[in-house]
Amino acid sequence: MGYPHRSHPKETPVLSKHFGDPQARTLDGWKQRGGYRALEQALGMTPADIVNVVKDSGLRGRGGAGFPTGLKWSFMKPGDGKPHYLCVNADESEPGTFKDREIMRWTPHALVEGTALAAHAIGAETAYIYIRGEFTEPLRVMEAAVKEAYAAGILGAKAMGTPHRIDVHILRGAGAYICGEETALMNSIEGKRGNPRIKPPFPAAAGVFGMPTTINNVETLCAVPHILVNGAAWYKALSLSSPKSTGTKLFSACGTLARPGNYEVTLGFPFKDFLYDLCGGPLPGRRFKAVIPGGSSVPIQSMEEAESTLMDYEGFVAKGSMLGSGGVIVFDDSVCMVRMIARLARFYAHESCAQCTQCREGTAWTTRILERIERGQGTMQDLDVLLELSENMTGKTICVLSDSCAAPIVSGIAKFKKEFEAHITGKKCPVTAAAAAAAA
């Protein structure tokens, strides 16, 4: 079942199979749909065996970085005498991304199950689900699901009747994008200001409360029960391209297209089909101009690049961008790219945690330059300054927020330089001007 549309025949609904089905939200409904079989199975396995299955499946992190999940789990050394923690990153704040929101809204028990399973696999008795502050409905649904799971003995001192203790706590963010960065999220859990930490030490060595911690994305964890039930080989076979990209992935599509929404496809799916079949192509009378394929932090693709892309971790890189979080933002010919990039930069300037100099000052400065160009008051030198600032904002800070602000600027100027130049030489926004002329 799709949501808000019916599933497209070309989709492969695994995680999204029950989207839109209110029955799937309840514990009973979830069990009738096969829920908690994987957890029961996993609690009878050793953590090492679970980690090996996940390693074999080729599952990679769905939050943006694409780090192999099994490998990440294997960093948690059993018997180190320290409490281990699992953090679930449900602080889905990447502009253009809204897949975790739907997972939590419709299939909360999928996340509870994935969380409990992962906690067992890394030797953690405590898991924190950190939900974005603005997600009021998902929060309510998740809290109800955790309550049900405790009442049914799935969570607690004897998880599903086994000797394993698994506690799941839900925490709510307070509206900071940066708290989706893993170490900022941990600071936030600890009650501190949500500032990213210097790495090393990495979370597996010293994470939340200074203890070994694994942090996973919601979608990653929800895939794990399916892998345990159906086997690593089944998941690995779900790949249309590179063997390094396996399984299905939810893509959130938004922007100027006919059918925005969440679509689940097997990795390696042709991006062209995704845009024109699943998403229904552009709005009537419009043409696509550009795509940001993986949430606002990744480089912008031109349509030539996008239409030849295979949707997997390597495919997007090969075509000048990244898979990121799977937030596909599409722009048609009515969109002013300068304005759009300025809007993105403004977002990053607003969300910078203010620790690193380049990010605190750079995001705000680039925003001001971009907005000035958009108003028709820019100069050609501004473009050079923007590129130099972007260079200074890339790879030099604690986290990648600054890099994320620079990526669309650099790719935008490289791929849509004519639009920037038109703003500067024409001393006004040509797109807005054309729209005004058309309306007159």
Contact residues for another protein, defined by CB under 8 A = 176, 178, 193, 198, 349-358, 360-365, 368-369, 372, 377, 379, 382, 385, 388-389, 391-392, 395-398
**Closest distance between another protein and the C-beta of residue 392, in Å?**
3
Contact 142, 131 (CB under 8 A): yes
Return the number of other C-beta atoms located less than 10 Å from residue 388's C-beta.
10
Q: Can you name the residues that pair with 253 across neighbouring β-strands?
A: 261, 328
Q: Among all chains, which residue has been given the structure tokens 């797109």?
A: 431
Question: Do the strands 327-332 and 288-292 form a parallel or antiparallel pair, or are they unpaired?
Answer: antiparallel
Return the number of other C-beta atoms located less than 10 Å from residue 309's C-beta.
25
Q: What is the DSSP string of 394-408?
A: SS-SSSSHHHHHHHH
If the CB atoms of residues 120 and 346 are measured against another protein, the closer one turns out to be 346
Interacting residues of 25 by C-beta distance below 8 A, sequence separation 6+: 106, 107, 108, 109, 141, 144, 145
If the CB atoms of residues 54 and 410 are measured against another protein, the closer one turns out to be 410
If the CB atoms of residues 111 and 398 are measured against another protein, the closer one turns out to be 398
If the CB atoms of residues 315 and 362 are measured against another protein, the closer one turns out to be 362
If the CB atoms of residues 240 and 364 are measured against another protein, the closer one turns out to be 364
If the CB atoms of residues 272 and 396 are measured against another protein, the closer one turns out to be 396
If the CB atoms of residues 33 and 375 are measured against another protein, the closer one turns out to be 375
Question: Do the strands 288-292 and 167-172 form a parallel or antiparallel pair, or are they unpaired?
Answer: unpaired
Contact 251, 323 (CB under 8 A): no
Q: Among all chains, which residue has been given the structure tokens 């600890």?
A: 190
**Closest distance between another protein and the C-beta of residue 361, in Å?**
4
Contact 90, 102 (CB under 8 A): no
Axis crossing angle, helix 337-351 with helix 417-426, rounded to the nearest 10: 100
If the CB atoms of residues 23 and 425 are measured against another protein, the closer one turns out to be 425
Q: Can you name the residues that pair with 87 across neighbouring β-strands?
A: 128, 215
**Closest distance between another protein and the C-beta of residue 363, in Å?**
7
**Closest distance between another protein and the C-beta of residue 395, in Å?**
5
Closest CA to 85 of 206, 197, 196: 206
Residues shown for the chain: 440
**What is the distance in angstroms between the CA of the first residue and the CA of the last residue of the chain?**
44
**Closest distance between another protein and the C-beta of residue 431, in Å?**
24
Contact 183, 203 (CB under 8 A): yes
If the CB atoms of residues 9 and 381 are measured against another protein, the closer one turns out to be 381
**Closest distance between another protein and the C-beta of residue 345, in Å?**
11
Query: Sheet containing 301-302: which strands, arranged edge to edge?
Result: 261-266, 248-255, 327-332, 288-292, 301-302
**Closest distance between another protein and the C-beta of residue 45, in Å?**
37
**Closest distance between another protein and the C-beta of residue 74, in Å?**
23
**Closest distance between another protein and the C-beta of residue 323, in Å?**
21
